Structure 1
């Protein structure tokens, strides 16, 4: 069938036109519509919108990919490609490729991930500053960046400058973190990964750096751990750290108790979810690109989410295959996985990924042209220009791709298999093994048609464990690879798919479902018919409580003849979940050791790495976290991140005993146990065209907690405009859960209560509100909290909107005269900015900026 694939029309649309059409496209999924419109719809720098719905975007992408296909044998047509990518059903280019392919208004890279670094062990100030500049230049082109700090000499080392001794790693962590926070990418902050080897003498300082208030808030941090260290942990023996790391003739050598350092890593991860762990020997030994280490492909760090280990100046582009769409007759007894169609589409996905490399090379040429045309002197432009030349060389020479997946949790549920069960792990392994074999087969066939990547050498790869597994699984593929080579140096990953999964309306990446069902409320209009009124507020408006179902849970209901529009009681909802294939299969239900085992088994068939988080309840012990890390190493995982519910508040604890005591002293005005009733301020604000409201609990004139969300719309909270204060009352539901009500006095002197603030807001807003409230309750200075909120790396556009509003609401509580750290005046570039009544005022030129 012909879909009339043509070049995008220059016609523009208003925000309302595009939103309404996109909302219809996503079947009234407001969040998916806003994410697509804000992040991926084609628009120019003036905000003019050129695409009405995602279909227009898919046409744009299909036309560009078809243009590249015409350069090669057996080209896919634009119609072929459109049918593969439309409706986010099968193949989904992720992030930068979706936004950038065919986009004439943005000079940006199509790469999602970059790693940078210096050759050898250069740790001169010049080398360190070069990395800083390169990081900024990449982030302004939309890329996430990683780099390793193991080359920096440890604290106290002699240096030949006026300082005489080195400051060590931590000050440079803060420098790189601050640079990240300063770079805006189309309304979002840059993303940074900092890593260091456990063999480095400063690794303990690195591990502790983020525990100090307000430090390194712009970066994720991970420790590269080698097998010798892990064996020393298991054997409770000493471990020798060196600088340069692993040197036979180190300038610095330091013996530590492996378990002491290990316990610190585990404690900090338990407390604050960082540092993450990279099992470095596993990464290097399994890495196919590291077979070419002597040719410049030695892996040194990872991208910010850890799923792409890279050598300096290499990059990767990401694409996800929607696993749910390959389940025939989902949620029925006849459900089956369509492996023949799946294999066919894997081949097409790898072709598309290879085409995107060609498009990336074109984008880099445009970036280089822009640099050349810039008015700066050549000396200023030199670092940026050399950076992009190096990146182009690696992309052209290695042609690295990042084929991944989304909807693993929904795929299993649709097949009637419980996520995390033995059967579930076995089926997932079969799926990922299939992806590995067919993707590599596709790359071999592309090499036959288009030529292999420039430095392919089968002799260098012959002992690589991943290549050996491919040989054992499919000897024909292996011998074809010997004959024709391979088009791409490495091919596979499993990335987090935050916004991607919102648009596919599925579970994210390899993860299970977060919640299959939750409740919200909406306003009932006077003319609405056949609606249920749950309560009437003091101004006479009627409200109906309704249930929000995870999209595929709702599909399960429909398949089983369950009316999703029915007014369910909580007991009925609980019973529904028990009947469904999502029962005992949410992120908080899945057995932790089973998930680690699953990750380790699947990792054997992913040549890059896997981004996955092990979610733990708040009350787990540190020993359990340590056991999970040890199990992950033994299972063959390349990395692991553990998140204990509520643990993010741990970022506020100082590792310095004196600072800890000082912090305790500053908390004496706040009660250890939350009072049942708090005085509260009501703050209203607007983000774009949306009206928002915040309820801020106050103790001793200081914010103690904050709840916020949309207001004056069908999903929000409506209270009279004149209400600017009241009470937040904590109580318990019938089931013993915490509940927070807002109460105010109306003009007649009667008390009016808005019940259950937690049910009024999107559950994701509520979770982040608890995080911010925890920082308030621990007495962190408000200006530091505002900085912390601004630094949060959040993938969802609506949550970024929430984040901006919370920061704006809290700024008014910053004491007048407080110096604003790390910011400069937009008018005169002075750094002498102070807070005045919630606004930033420049002491040099007097200009003021609010909001």
Structure 2
């Protein structure tokens, strides 16, 4: 209540005020400013903004963590915490903590990820529907969810209902996928991981399920593969599948050719980047929480990004440490890594993560209070209440944390070390070993000060391989753990850092522009006497791109004390470029097998998993994918996904061959599509609903030649608005004329009895200002501007009021769904990994390099 009162008394800012302040904070980086303002600035449901820049956000977070710290000995002060997190420099709480800590307006968890499940004996519609509801309940509070399907009986099994036999896994995959798509709208997060054991008789159907275009688009899928299966693949032997899986007395068994199924996994991964692979025996054998499996901590699946294997109803909050911040004299010959400062800050970061667990418990209590206060019948609320009660128990009992890192590639480049080289791998391993020992030292110290996690038992953990590595590396730490215990059941991960990495790069001095990758040499403009370096970056051939590259390369040369006035020979420049900090370190240049081996080496010092995607070029063979997956198993990786460039692009997979046809038109990423005829009197139309502040709006999108031709928007569910039943999702827009000869647009749909219902004067139900902007947008559509460029145009509009700015955001979201899957986007960078390999997938901007996705 105190937080709510304080927020009500705090200053409110307009969108323009906050944007200008955050733009200044991010040194003119428009994208970083908008990401922060849209996703993380404190705001209420009316759109009032209470933070002027990230400084205010970081002060809010520091204040709340300090409030928890005073409960314990040796408390950190608010200023000390603020200095660690300000400017996204050293320690960076990730999305859910950054949004939710100290936020009195949003009843949401601070956890980034959850796993749910009923156990192995819940193969019933009741159990399946319970999981479905729990998945939706978590997603509506912005949680990513994972769950395993190995408990569902295989196709053809006997059931005691009217169907007589089971339909198997795949129909339920579609159910859970559709639930994700349903909840993932209006800014809510919908991220789902479905997994199944290779031991399950339906695992082959699971592996094939996503090959059909448009099916199961709301879920990532991964197969849990055990060592016995991998050995059968290696030795070309048969493998026995069972149901229940791993049962000593199974109801169903079948022997399969392991190598045939493996080839199918490899082929599908080559073709569509799924399924991913979870090396399950490695995960379980290395897992400290699984030492407590019989107490409810048996790992059953992972979160959607694959870096947190979890037991049912456990969750994890994430925090990243910016490795670049510990490089002294970056990008120079004197560069070095400050290990002492790094260890000190890792200790603080682990303490902060433990404090965030206490903050999470408060958030869960608020969720439970809200559920109890809801007017629904107690029976309706039972599943949701039990869900959050179980999550609270796991959070308080195990106190699991997710301390990770960001900017590892930038750290290595700043030190002059090539990523995934032998030197790079060795240095990264040393950094992660240092992180693991420092974090575990902090957890042991907190156990002495605050108490160990509730079920800690040293005897249960004495043979755990990860803990044995801790013992060998730091015997004193291990002995202290035996005496005091550990505060947290598991501590470490490497997760995608999402939009926070974009803000980190902008504020902490990382210069991702210093990436002159030598691909080809030619003079772009022979008449320009001032151009002395005749190189073109791999990003393209245009003069504008060349100028940017030339500027960045010249700047890099200046940093490295190279004379930019000398007209270097080709041979001399070859040598210079080979010394470039990012040379051979971009996603397309890294040796893939070396990257897998690097992942396996680092994995030995991370008690959870590493979220990583191996990117290979479009012409990569299935044999290469096979080799990458096998190497990952041999090197001790816990999971791996391979993405072949263009493998999810459908008909656009041959984009590269059409490159020459692209017109030299600035800003266009694809050729404009010209409509072949004038507007027909009747156009088929889709309906898209969205919210503008607290008002419900509706968009009518006319379709011609299978693409948007025009758009109309207006208020919905209002006396003066457009009242259409929510089940109506399509109809027709009809152009008619009034008696005075003026034109009007009507909307017509069929009601449930099949009769036509017409709403006349569609165009007259709009505020004139919205109507005029809609005409402008319709004009760009009718003249063939590619949909993604229309979306970019709408997003770039700076309109007069906050209300119309939020309206145009809704229009942009409505149109994004029409961008063809696989459409590649030029001129933008991934907010997670800074890759320029972006494409649209399901209306979301998706990175082909790291797989991160941005919707809305």
Tell me the TM-score range normalised by the shorter chain. 0.7 to 0.9
1:503–1:759: structure 2 CA closer, same or farther, 3 Å change rule? closer
- 1:223-244 deviations in Å (ceiling 9; x for gaps): 0000000000000010110000
Deviation for aligned residue 1:549: 7.5
2:293 is aligned to 293
In 2, the alpha carbon distance for the partners of 1:558 and 1:615 equals 32
Q: Is the 8 A contact 2:432 2:602 kept in 1?
A: yes
1:641–1:331: structure 2 CA closer, same or farther, 3 Å change rule? same
- Secondary structure of the 1:503 match is helix
Deviation for aligned residue 1:184: 3.4
In 2, the alpha carbon distance for the partners of 1:550 and 1:209 equals 47
1:456–1:495: structure 2 CA closer, same or farther, 3 Å change rule? same
Deviation for aligned residue 1:142: 1.2
Aligned runs of 1:141-160 on 2, under 5 Å? 141-160=141-160
- Secondary structure of the 1:418 match is coil
1:174 is aligned to 174
2:205 is aligned to 205
1:464 is aligned to 464
Aligned runs of 1:111-190 on 2, under 5 Å? 111-184=111-184, 187-190=187-190
2:391 is aligned to 391
Deviation for aligned residue 1:188: 4.2
Deviation for aligned residue 1:500: 1.6
1:136–1:795: structure 2 CA closer, same or farther, 3 Å change rule? farther
Deviation for aligned residue 1:322: 0.1
In 2, the alpha carbon distance for the partners of 1:27 and 1:357 equals 33
1:694 is aligned to none
1:323 is aligned to 323
2:681 is aligned to none
In 2, the alpha carbon distance for the partners of 1:343 and 1:557 equals 33
1:532 is aligned to none
1:334–1:792: structure 2 CA closer, same or farther, 3 Å change rule? closer
1:663 is aligned to none
In 2, the alpha carbon distance for the partners of 1:674 and 1:635 equals 39
1:681 is aligned to 674
Structure 2 gaps of 5+ residues are 1-5, 519-542, 663-670, 677-687, 693-702, 709-775, 787-822
2:581 is aligned to 581
1:550–1:609: structure 2 CA closer, same or farther, 3 Å change rule? farther
1:762 is aligned to 828
Aligned runs of 1:733-812 on 2, under 5 Å? 761-762=827-828, 789-790=842-843
- 1:651-702 deviations in Å (ceiling 9; x for gaps): 999xxxxxxxxxxxxx9xx9x989959772399x9x999xxxxxxxx9x945
In 2, the alpha carbon distance for the partners of 1:574 and 1:19 equals 43
In 2, the alpha carbon distance for the partners of 1:37 and 1:722 equals 28
- 1:314-349 deviations in Å (ceiling 9; x for gaps): 000000000000001111111110001000000000
Q: Is the 8 A contact 1:8 1:56 kept in 2?
A: no
- 1:591-647 deviations in Å (ceiling 9; x for gaps): 111101100010000000000111101101101100110000000000001111101
Q: CA RMSD in A?
A: 4.1
**1:81 is aligned to 2:81:** yes
1:313 is aligned to 313
Instruction: Using the TM superposition, name which of 9-18 and 203-212 deviates more.
Output: 9-18
1:553–1:272: structure 2 CA closer, same or farther, 3 Å change rule? farther
In 2, the alpha carbon distance for the partners of 1:35 and 1:187 equals 13
1:303 is aligned to 303
In 1, the alpha carbon distance for the partners of 2:86 and 2:838 equals 38
1:65 is aligned to 65
In 1, the alpha carbon distance for the partners of 2:139 and 2:515 equals 33
Q: Is the 8 A contact 2:844 2:853 kept in 1?
A: no
TM-score normalized by structure 1? 0.74
1:468–1:499: structure 2 CA closer, same or farther, 3 Å change rule? same
Deviation for aligned residue 1:762: 2.9
- Secondary structure of the 1:680 match is coil
Q: Is the 8 A contact 1:314 1:394 kept in 2?
A: yes
1:276 is aligned to 276
- 1:781-815 deviations in Å (ceiling 9; x for gaps): xxxxxxx624777799xx988x66xxxxxxxxxxx
1:808 is aligned to none
1:721–1:607: structure 2 CA closer, same or farther, 3 Å change rule? same
**1:55 is aligned to 2:51:** no
Q: Give the aligned length.
A: 688
1:98–1:502: structure 2 CA closer, same or farther, 3 Å change rule? same
- Secondary structure of the 1:210 match is coil
Structure 1 gaps of 5+ residues are 1-5, 519-542, 654-666, 690-697, 705-717, 729-756, 773-787, 805-851
- 1:687-729 deviations in Å (ceiling 9; x for gaps): 999xxxxxxxx9x94569xxxxxxxxxxxxx99978954799x
Instruction: Using the TM superposition, name which of 232-241 and 26-35 deviates more.
Output: 26-35
Q: Is the 8 A contact 2:15 2:49 kept in 1?
A: yes
- 1:520-547 deviations in Å (ceiling 9; x for gaps): xxxxxxxxxxxxxxxxxxxxxxx97786
1:222 is aligned to 222
Deviation for aligned residue 1:24: 1.2
Deviation for aligned residue 1:398: 0.2
Deviation for aligned residue 1:559: 2.8
